[in-house]
Amino acid sequence: MKVATWNVNSIRARKERVLGWLERAQPDVLCLQETKVEDAQFPRDEFRVAGYEVVLAGQKSYNGVAIAARRPLTDVVRGLDDGTDDPQARLIAATIDGVRILSAYVPNGQAVGSEKFSYKLAWLGRMRRYLDSRCDPQQPLVLAGDFNVAPEAIDVHDPRLWRGQVLFTVEERAALAQLRNFGLVDTYRRHHTEGGRFSWWDYRQLAFPKNLGVRIDHVFATPPLAEQSLHAEIDREARKGENPSDHAPVVAEFAD
């Protein structure tokens, strides 16, 4: 099973590019983030023609997550569903071929010390409790998405510059580590030890051609599935050319 995650920064702005990428990359599952559209406006039919069914948790203008898959999606659960009154569409889960798949869009956090930053840290805690209460680390599960956290110094282009900045603070990395303590393996790191491999580059200041990026999009898997991972890659090519998302897709393949 080939599982991909991609923050597309609006599915309507990125539709042709995403469909073209599906055609070339042929993943079995694509977790999408920042679709920025209500479910009724999602281009569901075009995905179907391309061979993918979709399940959606969208909202107007902001956020929005989805899972596209070539095989049936069952047991769909939307949101963290933890009793808080939270309208932000940031999580969707479904089971595909016996694997629980979660597509997550972790809050950006905006600025250290801001309300949005507190919300981000709290959201990561809520995500951990979600896993504890609904999921089993001994079962095959993928948690993929835009986590808006670079785990290590080698995951930012300049650790000195990024020190204390949003996406790389000690607090955010600790919250992500706590989430991963549920029992999640970083499939990309399982296959790559080198630094300087990024999944997001700012649109501004020629950040992409200069490779001034950060690795914040991840495909995490529980140990029984991670042991089956054959390779994991960041598709840097998909960030090139006209009208790209500011994120590149991350892909992991697991033995069946």
Partner DNA sequence: ATGGTTGCTTAGCAA
Binding site for DNA (CB under 7 A): 9-10, 12-13, 34, 36-37, 60-63, 107-108, 110, 116, 203-205, 243
Nearer to DNA, 193 or 243 (CB): 243
Residue 146 designated active-site: yes
CB of 211 to DNA, least distance (A): 16
Catalytic-role residue among 28, 52, 105, 130: 105
Nearer to DNA, 135 or 212 (CB): 212
What CA–CA distance (Å, rounded) separates 119 from 107? 7
Reference 216, options 255, 253, 162, 254; nearest CA is 162
DSSP 8-state symbol, 39: G
Torsion of CA 187, 190, 195, 198, to 10 degrees: -10
Residue 202 Cα distances to 55, 165, 239, angstroms: 29, 14, 11
Nearer to DNA, 5 or 222 (CB): 5
CB of 237 to DNA, least distance (A): 18
Residue 82 designated active-site: no
CB of 103 to DNA, least distance (A): 16
DSSP 8-state symbol, 245: -
Residues classed as catalytic: 105, 146
